[in-house]
Structure 1
Amino acid sequence: MTESNISSQEIVPDAVDTANRYRMTVDLNVLDHLGINLYSNIAAVLTEAVANAWDADAENVEITIDPDGKWIKIVDDGIGMDVADMNDKYLRVGYRRREEDDPYGRTTAKGRRVMGRKGLGKLSLFSIADQIDVQSSKNGQAHGLRMSVEGIKASVQRKEPHYSPDALPVDDIDVEKGTKIVLKEIKRQRLARGAAALRMRLARRFSVIGELYQFKISIDGQPVTTDDRGDLRITQFLWTMGDFEPEATSIPKVLEQEKLPNRFDGWEASWNVDGWIGTARTPKQLDSEDTGNLNGIVVFARGRLFHENILDKLNDGRLYTKYLTGQIEADFLDDDDLADIATSDRQRVQEDDPRYAALLAFLRSRLGEVERRWSEWRRKHEVKDAQETSPALKEWFESLPEGFRKSAESLIAKLSALPVDDQEDRKLLYQHGILAFERMRIRGSAEELVESVHNVDKLLAVLADRDALEASLYRDIVKSRLDAIKDFQGLVDEDAKERVLQQYLFEHLWLLDPSWERATGSEIIESRLLSDGVIVEDLTEKERLGRVDIAYRTNAGKHIIVELKKAGRKMKLLELQEQGQTYVDKLKKILLVQGETTPNIEVVFVIGKHVEDEKDNPDRVKASMAAISQGSRIVHYDSLIAGAENSYSEYLEHSKTLDRLGSIVDRL
């Protein structure tokens, strides 16, 4: 027989029992991973002890913390354990009560749905203590034991198959009913912030606290209540599901409330979600030193924490999520007949399970409804509060056309939703928001601004738009022109007009002609005109010529000489013509040296009193000015001001609105 013809069965010795050939053993080292290093905080550890008390039908669980942090004591009045129960159930790692305990594995004698499942919770105590004393009394018989990390490690070193805790001395046993656990040699870094914080954290880990469930928890003599959760009492808007109905005293700040469907059509009959989702008025209210951040949705199953914050798994980055808090109950996640999807520390779940996926889909759908209603309620109440706080803001709303008010309200509501704590900063936010809204309204994109408030990149793109920027700059330019015009308005005294006009005219030649807004000077030509006597600095000479001042400017290839005459000086037409011709002749000589042979020159005389022939023979006046150079002319103080007002009449009208808006913004 060749080697290739030998079957695998033929090479197995007959003496070997293949049925018992292999075996799996569990080393005590596993305790390091399952207990000592599994849990990270005291609240998570005590949750396991409290859950065991619930499963033992206890009505009271009393937790006492040594002021010096040396020990923690947990006492319940449940059914207790005898020695057999202690060995077979409590000390047996991995004891599965729901499958192995008949008849009370799934439902206790009092009808409670059992919380425990993996049989690992008792090991969590080693996460915060190196020594654990357990006493229990059942049917009048009390006993107790002591476990220690040191003892477990010694058994591991000796390679023993099991760990044997020490029996407590009879004199040390004082429990009369239920179970007493004393944690000693506390790891101080796990004690967190103390009893007050622990009370709030435990309150957020159980939904079966209080008279309704005949289950009371106390810490240092103070009861743990649903109010300790700290979330409902700061909730502004509330959405409830299923049978959850809060008492009015527990929701003092709720302004709006709505009921949401608690299941999807097509779900199994036993699947539903009870509880509530709420939003705070500001994100800061959700940041608690004692409980940590309340910005999340806690998931319970069978009355205890199943998922610390499922909101993180929804991947919803919209602003409203920063205001969310809530607690929901989804018992179908912990169905007796289906796989256990809780992680070992029972604070998260296996995310690939269909039940978990169904819950995520349900929450996404419901939160979509929450977001839409939140925006509506937020606009309603925040705008109302803002108007009550600032009458100027109310005035702004009322000044808007009806079609823009809803968008404006949305803007203020969204701005109020931004996480800004300082009220002065919020006022500044409103001011900039109003100005931006008005600017965008003019160009028909106010709604775009409102929609961009919470998208920084989009908002910057909107505000940096070239047209919007140009409109803003144009307003700044024209505002300076309005300041000049307003300075002239109402002036009767000629000397006063003269002073004001002198102040503005040579730097703002748009007063003479709106197209001259970019007129500039030339230091070289001005110096030559000065040396040739056209521009004079001697006050006596200015008086002789009847001048206030003279200036040279250029604009778009045109050379402009402007002479401002004293308002009270009566000028003769011939006098003006002679002076103007002199200016032109001298300027032409200067420009010829620079290579300009046919310059375009205008001379403008600004005077207070009319010259002869202006009324009776205007053609003569026009011809005399044309003789100086084409485009030269006489302008009067009053007509100059009136012309400027007329050129900017439309903007003057808009300025009244802007002035009113400025007043509103300043008074915010």
Structure 2
Amino acid sequence: MEQKELQVTFDINTIDHLGVKLYSTIPPMIAELVSNAWDADANNVYINFKNEGEKTITVSDDGIGMTFSELNDYFLKIGRNRRVEMHKDETDGGRKVLGKKGLGKLSMFGIGKKITISTVKSGIKNTFVMDYEQLKDCEGNVYKPTVIDYCIKTDEKNGTSFFIEHLSRKSDFDIERLHRNLQTRFHIYSDKFVVHINDDEKYEINSNDIPEDKCQFIWKFPEDFEKDFDTETYKFKDLFEFGKVKGVQGKIYTSQTPLNKDVQGIVLFSRGKLVQEHSSFDDRANDNFFQYMSGSFDVDFIDNSFDVDNCSTDRKSLAWDIDENEELFKLQELIKKLVSIAQKKWREQRKAEKKRKVSSHGYDVDEWIKALNPAERPLAQKLTNAIIENDDIAEDIAADYIGCIKDMYSFEGFKQFTAELDELQELDNEHAIKLLTDWNTIEAKEYAKIAIGRVKTIEQFEKFIQTNASERDVIQKFLEEFPWLLDAKMSKFEREITYTKLLKQKFNDESILPESNRRLDFLCTNSAGVIHVIELKRPRIKLTMKEIQQICEYVEFIETQSPQTQGNVKGFLISDNMTYEPGANKYRKGLEKEGIFIKSYSDLLAEARRYNDDLYKMYEDISMKKNNKSDK
């Protein structure tokens, strides 16, 4: 059988403007191929994004496929209006045809420069390659794709596949985002038309339904808006009737939390295909509402004509600026009005929902305000409204804030302070609200922060002990920086003080000193005025009677030279090896009655940790009491 040629007649400017430049992002290009699969009565579309190595995209379907002549006469014919040419707007399977402009095949050149297309129909397979660089260089505006398979018999099932390579992108495909975007581009998904992405079930698209966990409120048109239009002017009643007559159907929904920007706003579908990307339909869309709002409407009537085309070429928006198109103008006004009504409903319902959740924490806002005297109610109402209507404050936090305000409302100083804030019009500011509600816990929180920081310091000190760090170069310097490790109440600290300096600066004693000028590791005082004489030893040094006698001499010297310190001097010998030579341990126990202690570094760390744990527990206790109060 003689191999025939495929042929594309084109204008390179058409390819560039309606392919390369118009479809410069992946989602609309993929949407064109999904649309082709729908029109081919496919039940499944398989999309594979390959990130490893050279990036490629494969899109295949199980539709009816195409013969060689159909490729030439239909698929490769640019600008073919299928509905006009076939005099029908339904497929053989009874689906409404989505294709209209005959430009979808150009979309692939906006993403990749080489396209391999393979199609099977009735056991016959045809495969060919379109190369953008070759297309640009051909003469006479006639391009002949390279035929790979010409009418080959095959056992493969009907269907068409597109293999796109030589992509310009370098970064990996964001599969999550592509899935989300593709899901919002059609209203044709069902168990009879499923899109599979990378053979991953979580990215399978088989439904147009909005996941329930994404929605807080949903309003459907027309049923949930009819009463709102009944109370409006004749103009708006006319818009409502227009929507019903034209078969407009859809919904606006809001989420619990702000939505991703790429799904905020209203999308419009005609015949199940996107004709208007996400839009707020509001020129002043700076309200928080628009961060939470999304929705979709089916407006099939705008694309029912074989001849009139209300859609932009890239299907991103309707041609709203078409002169004297009264139907498009009315549709736009209708959607604007629905968004405005939904915005009002959202505020009312969100406020009621937040009040209900706050009440479940034990704070019935309305009942509490009702119990106040008439002079107090306006400010209390404004305070609670500022909290409940603030979209940035979650329900549980709002309950805490209102609980605090309720508890503190009996204090005149608190009411005076809030009144001053009210005059400054600051009550809608979350920082001002937080300032009002933190009085009860601020001190405890500060203690808790200190405790958390100290625990980290304790952990670092433990590492020094475990590695047998030098007492002079490491341990002394560390304790000088953090004296509370020695005593949680330590307030003053001096390092390696001589007896002379000790007596002159600390005890103001002019007595004659012995000539010896022995050095101490530490001499510290705590907040009670008790002097601590501290002698440090390297953690793994074995203690002998010599070390014990040395600390005793230090304490005795100070008490002898400065009688006013009698009973207020304590000695500490610190190491981490508690193995004593014979007789030393018995001698040690007797010294504790005289205020001389031998401790391990482990003892110090345990005491410091216990004290700081108590600080943190203080904060937890206050928080628990606060929570218990809110449960009543």
Q: TM exceeds 0.5?
A: yes
Q: 1:325 aligns with which of 294, 316, 319?
A: 294
| Mapped contact 2:221–2:251 kept (Cα < 8 A) | yes
Secondary structure of the equivalent of 1:377? helix
Hey, what's the Cα distance between the residues in 2 that align with 1:377 and 1:143? 58
Residues 47 and 421 (structure 1 numbering): CA distance in 2 closer, same or farther, change over 3 Å? Answer: farther
Equivalent position to 1:146, from 129, 132, 138: 129
TM-score, normalisation: structure 1: 0.53
Partner of 1:275: 250
Matches within 5 A, 1:355-370: 355-370=327-342
Q: Is 1:372–2:330 an aligned residue pair?
A: no
Which residue does the alignment assign to 1:621?
none
Q: Does 1:94 align with 2:72?
A: no
Alpha-carbon distance in 2 for matches of 1:272, 1:410: 44
Aligned residue type for 1:218: H
Q: Which amino acid aligns with 1:41?
A: T
1:1-40 per-position Cα deviation (integer Å, ceiling 9, x unaligned): xxxxxxxxxxxxxxxxxxxxxxxx9632321121112123
Change (3 A) 1:257 1:269: closer
2:13 pairs, out of 12, 29, 34, with: 29
Equivalents in 2 of 1:298, 1:45: separation in Å?
18
With normalisation by structure 2, the TM-score equals 0.56
2:57 counterpart (50, 61, 72): 72
Partner Cα separation in structure 1 for residue 374 and residue 169 of structure 2: 63
Please tell me whether residue 43 in structure 1 is matched to residue 27 in structure 2. Answer: yes
| SS, match of residue 302 in structure 2 | helix
Any residues of structure 2 matched to 1:98-117 within 5 Å, and which? Answer: 98-102=83-87, 104=88, 106-117=89-100
Q: Does residue 235 in structure 1 map to residue 233 in structure 2?
A: no
Q: Write out per-residue CA displacement over residues 592-630 of structure 1, whole angstroms, 9 at most, x where no aligned residue.
A: xxxxxxxxxxxxxxxxxxxxxxxxxxxxxxxxxxxxxxx
SS in structure 2 at match of 1:50 = helix
Distance between the aligned counterparts of 1:53 and 1:35, measured in 2? 19
TM-superposed CA distance for 1:387, in Å, is: 3.0
What is the match of residue 196 of structure 2? 218
Per-residue Cα deviation, 1:512-557 (whole angstroms, up to 9, x for no partner):
xxxxxxxxxxxxxxxxxxxxxxxxxxxxxxxxxxxxxxxxxxxxxx
Q: Deviations over 1:271-327 (max 9, x none)?
A: 1321211112232xx13xxxx543211111111111111315554444433321112
1:177 aligns with 2:158: yes
- In structure 2, the partner of 1:121 is 104
What is the alpha-carbon root mean square deviation over aligned residues? 4.5
Q: Distance in 2 between matches of 1:72 and 1:259?
A: 49
User: Residues 365 and 417 from structure 1, CA distance in 2 versus in 1: closer, same or farther, beyond 3 angstroms?
Assistant: same
Letter in 2 for 1:295: Q
Provide the residue aligned with 2:392 in structure 1. Answer: 420
Question: Is the contact made by 1:231 and 1:326 (CA closer than 8 Å) also made in structure 2?
Answer: no
The 8 Å contact of residues 396 and 664 in structure 1, kept in 2 or not, is answered as no
Match of 1:533 in 2: none
Cα contact 1:392–1:664 (8 A) shared by 2 = no
The partner residue of 2:145 within 145, 149, 165 is 165
Deviation at 1:89, TM superposition (A): 1.7
Corresponding residue for residue 570 of structure 1: none
Q: 1:266 to 1:389 in 2, by over 3 A?
A: closer
AA matched with 2:239? F
Contact 1:200 1:224 in 2 (8 A): no
Question: For 2:217, what is the secondary structure of its paired residue?
Answer: strand
Q: Is the contact between residue 190 and residue 208 of structure 2 (CA under 8 Å) also seen in structure 1?
A: no
Identify the match of residue 372 of structure 2 among 400, 404, 429.
400
Helix, strand or coil at the partner of 1:267: helix
The residue identity in structure 2 corresponding to 1:377 is Q
Aligned partner of 1:80: which letter? G
Report the Cα distance in structure 2 between the residues aligned to 1:30 and 1:66, rounded to whole angstroms: 29
CA contact (8 A) 1:383 1:409 kept: no
- The corresponding residue for 2:271 is 302
Amino acid across the alignment from 2:195: I
Whether the 8 Å contact between 1:89 and 1:95 is mirrored in structure 2 is yes
SS across alignment from 1:333: helix
Q: Which amino acid aligns with 2:162?
A: I
Structure 1: distance between partners of 2:422 and 2:298: 40
Question: Is the contact made by 2:124 and 2:153 (CA closer than 8 Å) also made in structure 1?
Answer: no
**Closer/same/farther in 2, CA of residues 316 and 67 from structure 1, 3 Å limit:** closer
Mapped partners of 1:345, 1:373: distance in 2: 34
| C-alpha distance in 2 between matches for 1:172 and 1:94 | 31
* Conservation of the 8 A alpha-carbon contact between 1:379 and 1:412: no
Give the direction of change, closer, same or farther, for the CA distance of 1:58–1:190 in structure 2 (3 Å limit): farther
- Structure 1 residue 372 displacement after superposition: 3.1
C-alpha deviation, 1:88, in angstroms: 2.0
Q: Counterparts in 2 of 1:516-555, with a 5 A limit?
A: none
* Structure 2 Cα separation of the partners of residues 230 and 396 of structure 1: 38
State the alpha-carbon separation in 1 of the partners of residues 153 and 48 from structure 2.
Answer: 18
| Correspondence for 1:60 | 44
Q: Mind listing any 5+ residue stretches in structure 1 that lack a counterpart?
A: 1-24, 244-255, 464-471, 473-662
Q: Secondary structure at the match of 1:181?
A: strand
CA deviation profile, 1:388-411 (whole Å, cap 9, x unmatched)? 336496884464359997996786
> Per the alignment, do residues 134 and 402 of structure 1 end up closer, same or farther by CA in structure 2, a change over 3 Å counting?
farther
Whole-Å separation in 1 of the counterparts to 2:382 and 2:361: 17
Q: Quickly say closer, same or farther: Cα 1:26–1:180, change in 2 above 3 A.
A: closer
Name the structure 2 match of 1:81. 66
Is the CA contact 1:241–1:260 (under 8 Å) kept in the aligned structure 2? no
Q: Alpha-carbon deviations, 1:316-351, whole Å to 9, x = none?
A: 444433321112111122222462122221111212
Distance 1:393 1:150, change over 3 A: same
Change (3 A) 1:282 1:399: farther
Q: Distance in 2 between matches of 1:197 and 1:369?
A: 30
> Hey, what's the Cα distance between the residues in 1 that align with 2:371 and 2:626?
10
Report whether the alignment pairs 1:133 with 2:133: no
1:619-666 Cα offsets, whole Å, 9 max, x none, are: xxxxxxxxxxxxxxxxxxxxxxxxxxxxxxxxxxxxxxxxxxxx9999
Q: What number of residue pairs does the alignment pair up? A: 413
Contact 2:65 2:159 in 1 (8 A): yes
Shift of residue 61 of structure 1?
A: 1.1
Residue 208 of structure 1: which of 181, 184, 188 is its match?
A: 188
2:133 matches 1:187 = no
How far residue 370 of structure 1 moved from its aligned partner, in angstroms, is: 2.0
Q: Which runs of 5+ in 2 are unaligned?
A: 1-8, 230-236, 437-624
Checking the alignment, whether the CA contact within 8 Å between 1:37 and 1:127 is kept in structure 2 is yes
SS for the counterpart of 2:216 is strand
Q: More displaced, 33-42 or 348-357?
A: 348-357
Q: Name the residue aligned to 2:356.
A: 384
Query: Using the alignment, how far apart are the partners of 1:268 and 1:397 within structure 2?
Result: 43
- Give the Cα–Cα distance (whole angstroms) in 2 for the partners of residues 405 and 227 of structure 1: 50
Task: Note closer, same or farther for the CA distance 1:297–1:409 as it changes in structure 2 (3 Å cut).
Answer: farther
Q: Does the 8 A contact of 2:181 with 2:262 survive in 1?
A: no
